[in-house]
């Protein structure tokens, strides 16, 4: 159902145009109507608001002048009409400045607080969601996200730009009560033989890497659990009194104080990368704000 503009707003538009342009003729030209239409609208406004008293003084060859009542009306009406000018309406209709951010659960736990603070300081709205590597890449490709933070290896990522934020070596983690000395400078894969072990899910690249490590070292572990995220890893380590091989997240944030950590010494060191992803064509201003905040946070953690 169509809705017409209230008549008094049309009359008010003619009044404001007449005052700002200085004449009925100029107002008519500005509005694209006949002079008689502007005159009729002014008369209708006067009859409706001030019982027919004049709002403007008219005279041949003279610029229109406001009467005292017209001055009060113009002061209020002009502000209202300027609130509705085209530029302001475009600003109101523009997307709300903000960032649609996707993170792996692990990175969300490690980085959400500094990122949220940076976006709040920049007065940017945050819309955050969890996602695995495939989900994050897909949502960047379809521009459902402005920025995503995840780990390598990445699935095929055509149409996606990315930046490596950090390279993390691997460490051995263990729950309280493990038998290894806390002061040991490092552990080797063979030291994990016959230990209760929490591994990553079988379809996770890290899970496959651990199987290869154990085979190369000629050892077996006692698998206690498989998990997908550090959020699940820590409780499992505590509950089973187990150990795990995992990326060293201390470049992003501290491990829980009760979780023990040793560097993993391997013949050929391996690393996992933390990456930022955004749609091809360049990161948005909000995404750049987030990336700068990330870089500053990582510098502090060094």
List pLDDT tens digits, range 139-176. 898 888 999 999 988 877 888 999 999 999 999 999 98
At the topology level, CATH places domain 7-92 in Arc Repressor Mutant, subunit A (1.10.10)
Lowest mean per-residue pLDDT among 67-81, 122-136, 177-191: 67-81
Q: For residues 82 and 202, what is the distance between their CA atoms, to the nearest angstrom?
A: 62
pLDDT, tens digit (0-9, with 9 covering 90-100), for 31-42: 889 999 999 999
Domain ranges of the chain: 7-92, 97-302
Residue 278, preceding peptide bond in cis (omega within 30° of 0): no
Beta bridge mates, 130 = 103
Would you state the pLDDT for residue 95?
A: 63
**Residue 213: exposed, middle, or buried by beta-carbon count in 10 A (0-12, 13-18, 19+)?**
buried
Rounded to an integer, the average pLDDT of 86-100 is 66
Would you state the pLDDT for residue 111?
A: 93
Q: For residues 300 and 251, what is the distance between their CA atoms, to the nearest angstrom?
A: 9
**pLDDT: is 300 or 75 the higher one?**
300
Residue 3 scores a pLDDT above 60: no
Return the sign of the alpha-carbon dihedral for residues 299, 267, 259, 136: positive
**Spelled out in words, what is the top-level CATH class assigned to the domain 97-302?**
alpha beta
Q: Count H helices, E strands: the chain?
A: 10, 12
């Amino acid at each position: 159902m169509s809705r017409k503009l209230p008549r008094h707003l049309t009359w008010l538009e003619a009044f404001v145009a007449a005052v700002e342009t200085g004449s009925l003729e100029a107002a008519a030209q500005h509005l694209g109507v006949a002079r008689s239409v502007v005159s009729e609208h002014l008369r209708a406004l006067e009859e409706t608001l001030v019982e027919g008293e004049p709002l403007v003084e008219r005279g041949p060859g003279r610029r229109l002048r406001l009467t005292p009542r017209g001055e009060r009306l113009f002061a209020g009406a002009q502000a209202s009409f300027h609130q509705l000018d085209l530029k302001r309406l475009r600003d109101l209709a523009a997307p709300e400045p903000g960032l649609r951010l996707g993170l792996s659960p692990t990175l969300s736990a490690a980085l959400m607080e500094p990122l949220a603070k940076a976006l709040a300081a920049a007065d940017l709205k945050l819309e955050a969601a969890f996602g695995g590597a495939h989900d994050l890449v897909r949502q960047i490709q379809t521009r459902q996200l402005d920025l995503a933070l995840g780990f390598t290896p990445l699935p095929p990522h055509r149409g996606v730009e990315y930046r490596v934020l950090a390279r993390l070596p691997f460490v051995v983690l263990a729950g309280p009560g493990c038998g290894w000395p806390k002061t040991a400078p490092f552990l080797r894969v063979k030291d994990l033989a016959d230990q209760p072990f929490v591994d990553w899910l079988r379809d996770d690249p890290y899970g496959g890497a651990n199987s290869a490590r154990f085979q190369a070292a000629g050892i077996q572990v006692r698998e206690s659990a498989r998990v997908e995220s550090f959020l699940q890893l820590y409780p499992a380590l505590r509950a089973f009194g187990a150990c795990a091989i995992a990326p060293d997240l201390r470049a992003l944030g501290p491990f829980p104080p009760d979780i023990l950590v040793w560097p993993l010494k391997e013949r050929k060191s391996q690393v996992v990368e933390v990456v930022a992803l955004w749609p091809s064509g360049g990161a948005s201003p909000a995404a750049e704000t987030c990336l700068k905040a990330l870089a500053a946070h990582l510098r502090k953690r060094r």
